[in-house]
Amino acid sequence: MAPISFREIGQQLATAFRMKTRPLAVYGSDVLPPGIPRLAEVNRCFAVSLYRMASDTKVSAIYLSADTSEGCCPGGLFHVGYIPVPDEIKYFVSTGRKDVRGGAAEYLKASPELIDRCSVAAGPIHPPGKYLVVQACDALPDPMPAVRSLCCFGTGEQIRNMAALIHFDRDDPFSPVIVPGGSACSTYITFPASLAENTPHDTAFMGPEDPTQNHSLPPEMMALGIPADMAVRMVKNLDSSFIVKRPQVAFPRHLEK
Distance CA 180, CA 46 (A): 17
Residue by residue, what is the 3-state secondary structure of the chain? CCCCCHHHHHHHHHHHCCCCCCCEEEEEECCCCCCCCEHHHHCCCHHHHHHHHHHCCCCCEEEEEHHHCCCCCHHHHHHCCCCCCCCCHHHHHCCCECCEHHHCCCCCCCCHHHHHHHHHHHCCECCCCCEEEEEEHHHCCCCCCCEEEEEEEEEHHHHHHHHHHHHCCCCCCCCCEECCCCCHHHHHHHCCCCCECCCCCCCEEEECCCHHHCCCCCCCEEEEEEEHHHHHHHHHHHHHCHHHHCHHHHCCCCCCC
- Residue spans of the domains in the chain: they are 6-81+125-247, 82-124
pLDDT at 32: 86
Give the lowest-confidence range in 12-21, 29-38, 155-164.
Answer: 29-38
Band (pLDDT 50/70/90 cuts) for residue 34 is confident
For residue range 216-233, what is the model confidence (pLDDT) as tens digits?
A: 999 999 999 999 999 999
Position 204 pLDDT exceeds 60: yes
For residue range 74-84, what is the model confidence (pLDDT) as tens digits?
A: 999 999 999 99
Cis peptide bond upstream of 208, omega within 30:
yes
Give the lowest-confidence range in 89-98, 186-195, 247-256.
Answer: 247-256
Position 254 pLDDT exceeds 80: no
pLDDT at 38: 95
pLDDT at 33: 82
